[in-house]
Amino acid sequence: MYLTKEEERTYDGERGWTDQTCMKILVRLGELFNAAKLVRISSAHVSGVSYKTLGDAPAEFLETLANAGGKVRVRATLNPQSFDSEYLGRRLEQSLREKQLNVLKQFARMGFTESLTCTPYYLRKPKRGSHLAWAESSAVVYANSVVGAWTNREGGPSALAAAIIGKTPDYGIHKPENRLPKILVNVSTSLRNESEFGALGIHLGRLLKDEIPAIQGLGNTPETCLKQLSAALASTGMVNMFHLNKGAQTKTERLEKINVETKDVRKTVESLSTREQSEPDLVFIGCPHCSLGEIKEIALLMKDKKVNEKTEFWVCTSQCIKEKAREYVAQIEKSGGHVLAGVCTIVSWTEKLGIRTIMTNSAKTAYYAPTMNKAEVTFKPLKECLATAIRG
């Protein structure tokens, strides 16, 4: 892989051990994928921030990088952690809290923004055509497909290395020729809510593996539904983007075609529930993290209602959106719900809180919670989730 003189000096250790280590990670990755060079990025987003999913060895590696003076060169944001300080933090054992806080401290020492969200595009939207190194798969698909930015699906270490160097290897979806659709998906059914868009993503992820689709038949889809589609598509497959084929802009005549019918979506919806709907321990909304508009919608639906006292009701978002949504947060909390900033169900210790059954409108959470949270799941759209939170 071609390196500039400056990159070579970094590789040889002239800018210190942390930069050298990070450059070596990027060069190794680039050589693995036959990248010709590194490309500048405008931002990096690191996953593997929750101590629950990270564990001790990576946490120690972060500390070593920070001790050696590592500093980010671009805007660098972080995925959710394992608790929020206001609600879940108070219910967790001290030792876990300390370990999580130490992870955040190491990131802060290196200059990472404590965004703690999987929807960093709500905090600052990347420019169309800008190169990124993002590691949260739901955000990767959304950034490529909806925002129009360019990012591979990074792992935690490569996104971290890219943040420190300010560059990423120029391969995969950073090349225009690798962004073209390979398959035409015709959706011949009307999707009725965000959960059905998530189910479509789960179904397509399994079928497409890593083939970029042009999807037709979705009409004018709300952003929140595209977010659910993005998160779910990345859960079951390795696809990093999709095109919405609304007419002439994508040439599709020669592409292989697949059809998605009502029965495919319904069957996937059913398969994502492991239990019948009845008094879940937790009703969870906010995977991926909620936008301001979603929190407003929830607040309006919860107005003058009370959450059943046997049920926990969590709405997850970033601290930044929570602050902007103050009025709606107050409404949700008045009804007995909790708006949690910087955390989500999947990366938190729900088992330690006695949560065994979860109801959610998110296909991604429904897909992962049985293994990540050892929980039974009921998968339903937002309004049914809220009705259950109220009824218990």
Query: Which residues of this chain interact with ligand F3S, rule CB under 6 A?
Result: 79-80, 118, 138, 231, 287-289, 316, 344, 346-347, 364-365
Q: CA–CA distance from 259 to each of 207, 243, 264 (Å)?
A: 11, 16, 9
- What is the closest distance, in whole angstroms, from the C-beta atom of residue 43 to ligand F3S in the complex? 17
Question: Which residue number, 35 or 347, has a Cβ lying nearer to ligand F3S?
Answer: 347
Closest separation in Å from C-beta 175 to ligand F3S: 26
The smaller minimum CB distance to ligand F3S, of residues 39 and 347, is found at 347
Q: Which is nearer to ligand F3S, 50 or 106 (CB)?
A: 50
Closest contact distance (angstroms) between CB of 136 and ligand F3S is: 6
Q: Are 272 and 196 in contact (CB under 8 A)?
A: no
CA distances from 1 to 38, 150, 159, 170 (A): 8, 20, 19, 10
Closer Cβ to ligand F3S, 215 or 234, answer by number:
234
3-state secondary structure of 233: helix
State whether the Cα torsion 193-364-232-145 is positive or negative.
positive
DSSP state of 351: G
Instruction: Confirm if 205 and 234 have CB atoms less than 8 A apart.
Output: yes
Helices within the chain (DSSP H only): 5-11, 17-32, 51-54, 56-67, 94-109, 137-142, 156-165, 194-208, 223-236, 262-271, 292-302, 319-324, 326-334, 363-372, 382-391
Kindly state the smallest distance separating residue 46's Cβ from ligand F3S, in Å.
Answer: 12
Please, which residue, 167 or 289, has the CB nearer to ligand F3S? Answer: 289
Among residues 70 and 286, whose Cβ is nearest to ligand F3S? 286
What type of residue is 328?
Answer: Y
Cα 191 to Cα 83, 187, 188, 218, distances in angstroms: 34, 9, 9, 8
75 or 289, CB closer to ligand F3S?
289
**Are the beta carbons of 334 and 354 closer than 8 angstroms?**
no
- Closer to ligand F3S at the Cβ: 181 or 198? 198
CB of 251 to ligand F3S, least distance (A): 32
User: What's the closest the beta carbon of residue 274 comes to ligand F3S, in angstroms?
Assistant: 17
State the maximum Cα–Cα separation within the chain, in Å, rounded to a whole number.
65
> Is the separation of the CB atoms in 321 and 289 below 8 Å?
yes
Residues in CB range of 3: below 8 A, 6 or more apart? 11, 27, 37, 38
Q: Measured from the CB of residue 82, what is the shortest distance to ligand F3S in angstroms? A: 11
